[in-house]
A and B are shown apart, each in its own frame.
Chain A
Amino acid sequence: GAVVSQHPSWVICKSGTSVKIECRSLDFQATTMFWYRQFPKQSLMLMATSNEGSKATYEQGVEKDKFLINHASLTLSTLTVTSAHPEDSSFYICSALNPPPHVVGYTFGSGTRLTVV
């Protein structure tokens, strides 16, 4: 079945540094990638949607200059948290889609636990 590999699984970084999270679709073309943030005991909060070769569309309240999303190929999308601060600590999850949803569906990465100290 469809697999999305997300790396790293966890990362600890110092405040002010940048962190890159990668999501790779291993056996299908991820035309669309969704990036979510999840707080403890809460649902997924959509941060942005990116289509291969296009600029990402960010949800209201998400700083596009802080959360840089690149989707340059059909198999790789990256989220870079720039100048990270402790409040950026969270669980980040990607989800890949090759539309329409009823063919392959949505495939989620295993998530990245970011801790900013």
Chain B
Amino acid sequence: AQSVTQPDIHITVSEGASLELRCNYSYGATPYLFWYVQSPGQGLQLLLKYFSGDTLVQGIKGFEAEFKRSQSSFNLRKPSVHWSDAAEYFCAVVAPTGGSYIPTFGRGTSLIVHP
């Protein structure tokens, strides 16, 4: 079974600074990988996803993520954070075989943005 680790519970950055949120997964092959953002009291919004091909993935709101097979990682990055980026971020992994396609979510990283 797959698993995903988000090692940082909270990340604090200043507005305008760069951001990197870490995500590591455990799976025997290349899984499907996702990053979602959740604002308080809301559902999850997809930022970006990786299935195959180019390991650098561009998403919405200026986010990107890089799949690194050797490190089993899929870290999320943004070059310049805006105050509106403050939210909870979830990494998710899905096994591409088996047919159930049940996502496994990390525990989330809370992003705090200082003015």
| Residues in chain A within 8 A of chain B (CB atoms) | 4, 6, 32, 34, 41-44, 46, 49, 91, 93, 95, 97, 99-102, 105-111, 113
Contacts and interface: CB of A to CB of B under 8 A. Distances in A.
Interface of B: 32, 34, 36, 41-46, 49, 51-52, 90, 94, 96, 99-103, 105-108, 110
Contacts of B105: 43-44
A102 B32 contact: yes
Nearest to A112: B43
B43 A32 contact: no
20 contacts: A42-B107, A43-B105, A43-B107, A43-B108, A44-B90, A46-B102, A49-B100, A95-B103, A99-B99, A100-B101, A101-B96, A102-B32, A102-B51, A102-B52, A105-B46, A108-B36, A109-B43, A110-B43, A111-B41, A111-B43
B36 to A, nearest CB: 8
A99 B15 CA distance: 38
Contact of A34 (B32, B49, B52, B102): B102
Contacts of B46: 105-107
Contacts, number: 57
B34 A106 contact: yes
Contacts of B41: 91, 111, 113
A106 B104 CA distance: 12
Nearest to A6: B43
Q: Which of A34, A46, A49, A101 has the most CB of B within 10 A?
A: A101
Contacts of A6: 43
B102 A49 contact: yes
A107 B44 CA distance: 8
A106 B100 contact: no
A41 B10 CA distance: 11
Given A101-B94, A106-B103, 5 more contacts: A42-B108, A43-B105, A43-B107, A99-B99, A102-B96
Contacts of A91: 41
B75 to A, nearest CB: 18
A114 to B, nearest CB: 13
